[in-house]
Structure 1
Amino acid sequence: MSAYHIFIVEDDKWYGEILQYHLSLNPDYQITRFMNGKDCLAQLHQKPDLITIDYSLPDMNGAELLKKVQQANPGTPVIVISGQEDIATAIDLYKKGISDYIVKDDHTKDMLWNAVNRIRENQSLKKEVEVLREELGQKYEFEKVIKGSSESIKKVFSLMEKAARTNINVSITGETGTGKELVAKAIHYHSDRKKKPFVAINMAAIPSELLESELFGHEKGAFTGAMVRKIGKFEEANQGTIFLDEIGELDMNLQSKLLRVLQERELVRVGGSEKIKLDIRLVVATHKNLAEQVKQGRFREDFYYRIMGLPIELPPLRDRGNDVLVLAKYFLDDFCKQNKLGAIQFTPKAKERLLKYHFPGNIRELKSMMDLAAVMCDGKEISDQDISFNSPRADQDLFAKEKTLKEYNIQIIEYFLNKYQRNVVQVADKLDIGKSTIYKMIQDKEIEA
């Protein structure tokens, strides 16, 4: 661990030596002492971690030195030590940004010791947060968030980059399981707001009667059960990004209130009167067609235009071609790593089976499928028999994409073959068709054996 460098600026040599000796009892502290402000300023290039200033110096007072330190090294904590207990001066210095004000008396050494420890702990916490945010930024690099190289995904990357460069609102659409929240996080952690909060809330997961309080907060006594003041999600996200998932589930009354908040850039907590200024980046997501909801009178048109901003549509997995195999390999490798399994490969038939499936649950379904396949296989490779299609929505997504009648027939037969472990006789019986029909389709390679 590197030394914690402290500058002590004190014109009384004897008193400065006392402070230096006392702080030096901590072997992690490196102390440099100065008799005046000019000498201290000349050495600020050393980037001290903290500076203590005697308010009454021979060449300038504490307020003047504080201003010069802040101009040269913004963010460096400063403690002012004064021989006078002047409340007005102390308040003025706190307003100017000092970390602490200590009066010279019998307790100064102990108060200084405690103040330095507290400031150092806060600096350590801030550094940890910075490191974590940096790691999050790396974690949410666009190519790490969305695997693939299909044209549809390249278009998404381009839009994400455009969104990250500005503070424009972003609306993300796509089927369930396509990764909408991951995209929202990636945009946040690549924007100028990356060091500020990212706050996500699922509008469909909270009862409508509680949602206003959850979003805007409430004051103590605002309603029965409001025992303390509650800070809402919008306040939590101030200066950062708020992500409202399933925005299409918001009722018309709350749409009106949220529209006002977004227009005025301020909110009032439920039961309160204080106006709280907001500086947020809004990202919304939905699997619904909001334009159609507006036509049907289920979504406010003015609110729709306010939140749309830059639209990003995430393609369903079935429309991403070979990205399926890229993602499958990524999820498989990740599962093997986490569970200390050896490398596992796919057989050609397993790959073929994955490419033919329509993935109603999208990326989320694929990940679950790969976890199970890794457990079910022999430990070396995943065969087509190790891949299970158990989506409860598989039959509901039959019309997700327009196809020819022949393509629909192939999809239906393929679905039932998967369901009944490729038993042609059983599938023919269930669908009331001849076995020869299925065998011919297999022979023509329209479906796999």
Structure 2
Amino acid sequence: MPLFPFTIFIVEDNAWYSELLAHKLAQNSDYVVRQFTSGRECLKHLSEETPNLITLDYSLPDGTGEQVLAQLRERLPEVPIIVISAQENVSTAVSMLKQGAYDYFVKDEETADRLWFSALKVREQQELRRENARLRQQVGQKFDPAQALIGSSTKIQELLTLIDKASRTNITVSLSGETGTGKELVAKAIHFKSMRRDQPFVALNVAAIPRELLESELFGHEKGAFSGAVNRRVGHFEQANGGTLFLDEIAELDPNLQAKLLRALQERELLRVGGSKPIPFDARLMVATHRDLSLEVKEGRFRQDLYYRMLGLPIVLPPLRERGHDVMLLADAFLREFCAQNTLPPLRFSEQARHKLLQYSFPGNVRELKAVVELAAVLAEGDVIQPKDLSLRNGVATESEPTGQESLREQVSRIVQQSLDANNGNILQVAHLLKIGKSTIYRMIQNNEVRVR
């Protein structure tokens, strides 16, 4: 996750102690540390700079900790403030926390270290909030899967119905389907329609992380847990707390980690690598794979108990070749988006180009279609995309192509039936798409060559 500038204000009238805290924090070269000897000086500087974290001495020359905390809270209600005091009085600590302090430390030889770890935690939380704000901006504060998951086919409408049902509860969702069908997009759609929409959506591709690092990525690690673990790290489960954790390519999970994941899901708590204290979490789980998990279980590569724990609501995403005219709806949307992003004049597909796209099977599914459309927009001459601009793989048989084992009439019947299924039995629309007379389709229905389902 990319880091952003992190500014810390130290409000402390003891110059030696202020330098001690500043020296400790400055060991992180990304931190910007400002030191102030009074509350008044700190408040005055707020007009020039807003900090990410404030440490506040309880006893200052110009006011008590309660007074300065109240003024800072009024000016900066979202900024964490850690009160540092020589007083060990529990009632004082409770009072400060009730007034909105993020934490309360008693001055001793471990205070600087505790402040260091608190600063790391605050920074991770703020980075995560920024990342999720960026994500919400991309997908829209009110995520509308009907717009993101473009299509009018029966299969996509059934998918939208399942998304709506999945968003009403916290049931685990297991997504399956060929590579490129949009499994992460569906997971985001469910999250942003659910009650957790304002909490983090955290995604992790299990196959993209080396096995020796994956446990730390999932559960985090403690300082010194292994060589190179110089600081404590919060894992993806904790980052997703309150929100949704999406684990892609779950079938690639190492058997040893399968057991640890099962335990975490059963107990609703985790152990950081090198840690001994269980940490509770509240994250909704969604998983995805392009493999048949039931087959993986049968062949002994995936734990059966974990499979049933994660199965929840299974959602199978249809391949693009089964979605009929959705191909052109998606292609037109991708073309508009690419032209707008690259300040290109509006482009359109010629009829021949549209026919070529509709006849192709798209083994790479929606992801491949998007790549094909974007390249075509670059290659096109003028404002019309021609068939020669479409870089489709050679030699890929489509469901609409002859197989050598069917008669011409059987091939025509199959193509018409696929189009009828994809377009909800709309005969006029199918006739328009396939460039055949509607009377031909009616005759095929009468002869039981196709049927409206």
TM-score using structure 2 length = 0.63
Q: In 2 relative to 1, CA 136–164 (structure 1 residues): closer, same or farther, beyond 3 Å?
A: farther
Q: What SS class does the counterpart of residue 165 from structure 1 fall into?
A: coil
The yes-or-no answer on 1:223 pairing with 2:226 is: yes
Which range is displaced more, 159-168 or 124-133?
A: 124-133
Q: What SS class does the counterpart of residue 171 from structure 2 fall into?
A: coil
RMSD: 4.7
Alignment of 1:217-256 (within 5 A): 217-256=220-259
Q: In 2 relative to 1, CA 196–321 (structure 1 residues): closer, same or farther, beyond 3 Å?
A: same
Check the 8 A contact 1:163/1:170 in 2, yes or no: yes
1:138 to 137, 140, 147: 140
Distance 2:310 2:151 in 1: 28
CA displacement at 1:25 relative to structure 2:
11
Alignment of 1:52-67 (within 5 A): none
The yes-or-no answer on 1:388 pairing with 2:396 is: no
1:259 to 247, 257, 262: 262
CA displacement at 1:126 relative to structure 2:
11
Distance 1:382 1:77 in 2: 53
Alignment of 1:36-435 (within 5 A): 88=89, 89-99=91-101, 132=134, 135-136=137-138, 138=140, 140-390=143-393, 394=396, 405=406
Q: In 2 relative to 1, CA 167–181 (structure 1 residues): closer, same or farther, beyond 3 Å?
A: same
Q: In structure 2, what residue type is equivalent to 1:138?
A: G
CA displacement at 1:256 relative to structure 2:
1.1
Q: What SS class does the counterpart of residue 318 from structure 1 fall into?
A: helix
Distance 1:136 1:340 in 2: 19
Q: In structure 2, what residue type is equivalent to 1:372?
A: L
CA displacement at 1:308 relative to structure 2:
0.9
- Structure with bigger gyration radius: 1
Q: What SS class does the counterpart of residue 193 from structure 2 fall into?
A: coil
CA displacement at 1:254 relative to structure 2:
1.3
Check the 8 A contact 2:128/2:239 in 1, yes or no: no
Q: In 2 relative to 1, CA 173–273 (structure 1 residues): closer, same or farther, beyond 3 Å?
A: same
Q: What SS class does the counterpart of residue 204 from structure 1 fall into?
A: helix
Q: In structure 1, what residue type is equivalent to 2:227?
A: T
Check the 8 A contact 2:217/2:236 in 1, yes or no: yes
Q: In 2 relative to 1, CA 289–275 (structure 1 residues): closer, same or farther, beyond 3 Å?
A: same
Distance 1:132 1:250 in 2: 29
Q: In 2 relative to 1, CA 321–299 (structure 1 residues): closer, same or farther, beyond 3 Å?
A: same
Check the 8 A contact 1:245/1:285 in 2, yes or no: yes
Equivalent residue pairs, number: 343
CA displacement at 1:287 relative to structure 2:
0.4
Render the CA deviation track for 1:70-121: whole Å, top value 9, x for unaligned.
xxxxx89999xxxxx97634311133242489xxxxxxxxxxxxxxxxxxxx
Check the 8 A contact 2:132/2:200 in 1, yes or no: no
Distance 1:78 1:215 in 2: 26
Distance 1:131 1:235 in 2: 18
Q: In structure 1, what residue type is equivalent to 2:93?
A: I
Distance 1:141 1:339 in 2: 24
**In the alignment, what sits opposite 2:23?**
none
Check the 8 A contact 1:267/1:276 in 2, yes or no: yes
Q: What SS class does the counterpart of residue 363 from structure 1 fall into?
A: helix
Distance 1:97 1:155 in 2: 50
Check the 8 A contact 1:136/1:189 in 2, yes or no: no
Unmatched 5+ stretches in structure 1: 1-18, 29-61, 67-74, 80-84, 102-123, 412-449
Distance 2:177 2:190 in 1: 16
Render the CA deviation track for 1:360-401: whole Å, top value 9, x for unaligned.
010111111111111222221112222121379x46x889x9
Render the CA deviation track for 1:401-435: whole Å, top value 9, x for unaligned.
9995458x989xxxxxxxxxxxxxxxxxxxxxxxx
